[in-house]
Structure 1
Amino acid sequence: MNALLWLLDARLEIAGSHVLWREIVGNVFGLASALLGMRRLVWAWPVGMFGNALLFTVFLGGAFATPQAVDLYGQAGRQVFFFAVSVYGWWRWSRNRRLGTSPDAGAVVPRWASARERVGLVAAAVIGTALAYPVLKALGSWGPLPDAWILVGSLLATYGMARGWVEFWLIWIAVDAVGVPLLLQGRFYPSAAMYGVYGFFCAWGFVSWLRTSLALRRRTDQAPTSYVEVTA
């Protein structure tokens, strides 16, 4: 209990501004989840869920004691949706591991989304952002339009990761490009810094998954019956 209270209240000063340790710890868990995801390990999901729980408290500055006292409802809401989508991702990757659907040690087989799936992603991005913007604006979210895209784009990227689509890394890069300036303006400095790190990391992850998908495709071309991908 003492450790939990410390995590909720502890802060440090950076460049004259107070920063919560839970913001730092939550983002570290987020980065760890991304690293595990790049390696296609099931542990990516529960690790990320712990970070989501911490960051949820950070972005509701009006409800929890934070130095910023700024509510980013899109950022807070996406932690809730992250948690829900991560349950699906955890289940899907765990099932893949049990069934041995991948010809290597990964829990998912990286692949490009189909043309139909890409159209669905674009449609969901446009419609989702258009719907989220007025809701976040009415709630009083700070920076509702970029906050809406960050919310919707993050959900699409997380779902794409669960499905094994290589494009999910590109969606994350687009989210980071919008998130860094928004978080800097809101003085969420650790989160802004982590978004910047995520951007470079996502480029690395994209190249890694792309190479893996090409390697697995060559392998399956040589032995087409070596595995069966589960698409449900």
Structure 2
Amino acid sequence: MNPLLTLFDAELHIGGATILWREIVGNAFGIASAIGGMKRVVWAWPVGIAGNALLFTVFMGALFHTPQELNLYGQAGRQLMFISVSVYGWTQWLRSRQESGRAVLPRWAPGRDRLLLLLAMSVGTVAFAQIFARLGSYGPWAEAWIFMGSMLATYGMARGWTEFWLIWIGVDLVGVPLLLGAGYYPSAILYLVYAGFVVWGFAVWLRIQRATPPARV
């Protein structure tokens, strides 16, 4: 038997629940990436990409024959979105580190960009809810909210906007009940961990932002 395939399909049984080890590992990579993001280190991006690739195979459950046999198109598409936006964030932080010695300097998003974030969140949630519903996704409106929030939060992290932590809180509030209902328990637990972690991360970035002298124009 192929050892890589064996690891790919490895399961953990807790009570009556069957959990894939790659869901646990993928979420562990996600936590490591979040810690790296809080510390503003470049390796947060490639670690997150590795976790996203694993979780894509988990959330396309009917395609990859997971125990849940559910396709969460929003969650799966979210992993692909993470990968593409993370490549952008990775290059942004590398460029910033080369130019200033710091991967990113936390700051508030300009007022115009805040309005664009709100507009994108509203329009995107409505649009993707229709798409996910037509695809037969489980919980299309919740998935659309999570998808758009995750995209905007990741983009905000790449730009160094402190608000991205607050967007994650909104994502977590919807993500926990959705994933519990669908039987993705490790991912639901990760969202609960994130809910506390993002508050901490927001406080850390805000403290750094306040301690940094404003840039001269």
**Distance of aligned partners of 1:164 and 1:192 in 2 relative to their CA distance in 1, 3 Å threshold:** same
CA RMSD of aligned residues (A): 1.4
Match of 1:153 in 2: 149
Match of 1:122 in 2: 118
Match of 2:69 in 1: 69
Deviation at 1:2, TM superposition (A): 4.4
Partners of 2:189 and 2:212 lie apart in 1 by: 34
Deviation at 1:216, TM superposition (A): 1.0
2:140 pairs with 1:144? yes
Q: How does 1:31-110 map to 2 (within 5 A)?
A: 31-100=31-100, 106-110=102-106
Q: How does 1:179-198 map to 2 (within 5 A)?
A: 179-198=175-194
Give SS of 1:71's match.
Answer: coil
Q: Which runs of 5+ in 1 are unaligned?
A: none
Deviations 1:86-106 (A, max 9, x none): 010000000001111x6xxx4
Deviations 1:149-176 (A, max 9, x none): 0001000000000000000000001000
- Structure 1 runs of 4+ aligned residues shifted over 6 Å read none
Give SS of 1:66's match.
Answer: coil
- Name the amino acid aligned to 2:121: A
- Name the amino acid aligned to 1:156: L
- Name the amino acid aligned to 1:130: V
Deviations 1:179-208 (A, max 9, x none): 000000001000000000011000000000
Partners of 1:3 and 1:124 lie apart in 2 by: 44
Give SS of 1:62's match.
Answer: helix
Give SS of 1:25's match.
Answer: helix
Partners of 2:98 and 2:202 lie apart in 1 by: 26
Match of 2:196 in 1: 200
Give SS of 2:12's match.
Answer: strand
Partners of 1:29 and 1:3 lie apart in 2 by: 21
Q: How many residues align?
A: 217
Deviations 1:53-78 (A, max 9, x none): 00000000110021100110000001
Q: How does 1:7-46 map to 2 (within 5 A)?
A: 7-46=7-46
Deviations 1:129-158 (A, max 9, x none): 011001000000000000000001000000
- The two structures have a TM-score, normalised by structure 1, of 0.91
Higher helix share: 2
Match of 2:205 in 1: 209
- Name the amino acid aligned to 2:135: L
Deviation at 1:16, TM superposition (A): 1.3
Q: Which runs of 5+ in 2 are unaligned?
A: none
Give SS of 2:109's match.
Answer: coil
Partners of 1:183 and 1:17 lie apart in 2 by: 14
Partners of 1:37 and 1:3 lie apart in 2 by: 33
